Amino acid sequence: MTKPIILNAAELPEWTHAELNAFFSVLDLPREPAAASAFLKEHGGKIRGIALRKTKIDAAFLDMLPALEIISSYSAGLDNVDVEATRARGIRIENTSHILAEDVANAAVGLALAVTRDFVNADAYVRSGQWPVQGHYRLGRSISRMKVGVVGLGTIGSAIAKRLRAFGSELAYFGPSRKSVDIPYYDDVGRLARDCDMLILTCPLTSATHHLIDASVIEALGPDGFIVNIARGPVIDEQALIAALASDKLAGAALDVFEHEPAVPEALIRDRRLILTPHIGSGTEETRRAMAENVVDALAKHFGIEGPRSGTVRDAELESAN
């Protein structure tokens, strides 16, 4: 039986590439744009699937792949994919939001606790020897007594809401439409901010959510408010955030993502009211492995290929790891 031809447009672990090659005929996309375009003009007509991570997939890219049936993405976010053009072609899109939701939710709550209780600065306070000299550390804020607005109540947002409920937080959410949940819904993010002590951002990056959290939303949240962003950096207007912090219009923020990664503005780096992490929301060994596995599994399921998780490549790889 002829193996389906797929395009590898992702940097993935070596064992993942071994699996892809075991089950498919794999064509590796050149990194240089001109070479990639020439490559697709030559081979695009026979490509039926894509293993994707960060490569931009726009309508022009899709036009060179007339036989494409499925895109299997390592990431949860699809801001690098023209989703409308893809769906218009009837091309299936698989991502990993269902796999990374738990660890990203854990990270979001960890960041929320870190910024409200000032854990990072408190750690430095002890390590620098200030505790015996200065005495008791300043008080933090209680997330259990806060109203928290979740911006985007999808798979990840719902996992965050579940955890916040266990902490005793009052919840509300904003999104493009109301969901069948017993959490108050806001159709205006500014009004949500005005009624909340904290916003946790989990929404996808789209044209509608680019700079969704702008100066007016930050001002509505107020000088005692907090922002946690584990979505995408450009969901926040970074310059508006910097200006608000400079004017003491926000209590603090915890940011795992930034507008121009990996560049982080010096104003954010210097500000001790912020918790900054390098886009590690899903960054556990277990979840990243499951995400890579899903890239292969989604393709295999689509093409009716039996059991990558129990195939010879997987067995050999697991055996060598023991």
Task: Assess whether 148 and 178 both reside in one domain.
Answer: yes
C-alpha–C-alpha distance, residues 232 and 229, integer Å: 7
Question: Residue 99 has what pLDDT?
Answer: 95
Task: Assess whether 262 and 137 both reside in one domain.
Answer: yes
Cis peptide before 13 (omega within 30 of 0): no
Q: Are 236 and 208 in contact (CB under 8 A)?
A: no
Grouping H, G, I as helix, E, B as strand and the rest as coil, residue 112 is: helix
CA terminus-to-terminus distance, the chain? 33
Task: Assess whether 201 and 155 both reside in one domain.
Answer: yes
Task: Assess whether 132 and 161 both reside in one domain.
Answer: yes
What's the average model confidence in pLDDT over 276-296?
96
Task: Assess whether 157 and 194 both reside in one domain.
Answer: yes
pLDDT at 322 over 50: no
Task: Assess whether 103 and 197 both reside in one domain.
Answer: yes
Query: What pairs with residue 236 in β-bridges?
Result: 213
pLDDT at 203 over 50: yes
Task: Assess whether 105 and 251 both reside in one domain.
Answer: yes
Q: 208-263 pLDDT, tens per residue?
A: 999 999 999 999 999 999 999 999 999 999 999 999 999 999 999 999 999 999 99
* Helix (H), strand (E) at residue 201: strand 198-201
Instruction: Look over the chain and give the mean of its residue pLDDT values, rounded to a whole number.
Output: 94
pLDDT at 317 over 90: no
pLDDT at 136 over 70: yes
- Contacts with 207 (C-beta within 8 Å, 6 or more apart), sequence order: none
Domain boundary residue, one of 257, 276, 295: 276
From the list 11, 42, 84, 261, the catalytic residue is 261
pTM, two decimals, is 0.91
Q: Is position 31 annotated as part of the catalytic site?
A: no
Q: The domain containing residue 76 runs over which residues?
A: 5-96+284-321
Q: Is position 232 annotated as part of the catalytic site?
A: yes
Report CA 149 to chain centroid distance, whole Å. Answer: 18
From the list 48, 69, 102, 232, the catalytic residue is 232
Task: Assess whether 67 and 105 both reside in one domain.
Answer: no
Task: Assess whether 139 and 254 both reside in one domain.
Answer: yes
C-alpha–C-alpha distance, residues 154 and 175, integer Å: 9
- What is the count of structural domains for the chain? 2
Q: Are 232 and 202 in contact (CB under 8 A)?
A: no
Q: 106-127 pLDDT, tens per residue?
A: 999 999 999 999 999 999 999 9
pLDDT at 286 over 80: yes
CA atoms lying within 13 Å on the CB side of residue 43: 20
Domain boundary residue, one of 241, 259, 276: 276
User: Which DSSP state fits 209?
Assistant: T
C-alpha–C-alpha distance, residues 299 and 48, integer Å: 10
Q: 34-87 pLDDT, tens per residue?
A: 999 999 999 999 999 999 999 999 999 999 999 999 999 999 999 999 999 999
Question: Residue 28 has what pLDDT?
Answer: 97
* Helix (H), strand (E) at residue 252: strand 252-255
Q: Residue 303: pLDDT band by 50, 70, 90 thresholds?
A: very high
pLDDT at 1 over 90: no
Q: Is position 14 annotated as part of the catalytic site?
A: no
pLDDT at 320 over 80: no
Task: Assess whether 179 and 242 both reside in one domain.
Answer: yes
Question: Residue 306 has what pLDDT?
Answer: 83
From the list 279, 289, 302, 317, the catalytic residue is 279
Task: Assess whether 272 and 146 both reside in one domain.
Answer: yes
Task: Assess whether 247 and 150 both reside in one domain.
Answer: yes
| CATH number for position 22 | 3.40.50.720
